[in-house]
Amino acid sequence: MLNTNCTTGVEIREASIFDAEQIASLGTQTYIESHGTFFKNQEDLLDYCKQTFSKNRIREELNSRENIFFVALVNNKMIAYAKVKLNASSTYIQSDNIAQLDKIYVLKDFLSMKIGLLLFDVLLKKIQSYKVKVLWLVVYHENKRAINFYLKNEFINIAEYYNFYGKEAYKVLLLKKDIKAL
Mean pLDDT for the chain overall: 92
| C-alpha to C-alpha distance for 94 and 40, rounded to whole angstroms | 34
For 76-82, what is the mean pLDDT? 96
Taking every pair of Cα atoms in the chain, the longest distance, rounded to a whole number of angstroms, is: 46
Instruction: Tell me: pLDDT of 5 over 60.
Output: no
Q: What is the pLDDT of residues 83-129, one digit of tens each?
A: 999 999 999 999 889 999 999 999 999 999 999 999 999 999 999 99
Q: What is the pLDDT of residues 30-63, one digit of tens each?
A: 999 988 888 888 888 999 999 999 999 999 999 9
Residues facing residue 68 across a β-bridge: 84
Helix, strand, coil percentages (3-state) for the chain, rounded to 5, are: 40, 35, 25
| pLDDT for the residue numbered 4 | 52
Element of type H or E holding 179: none
Q: Which is nearest to 44 in space by CA: 153, 176, 168, 147? A: 168
| pLDDT for the residue numbered 80 | 97
Q: Which domains does the chain have, with CATH numbers?
A: 2-178 (3.40.630.30)
| C-alpha to C-alpha distance for 4 and 20, rounded to whole angstroms | 21
| C-alpha to C-alpha distance for 77 and 92, rounded to whole angstroms | 38
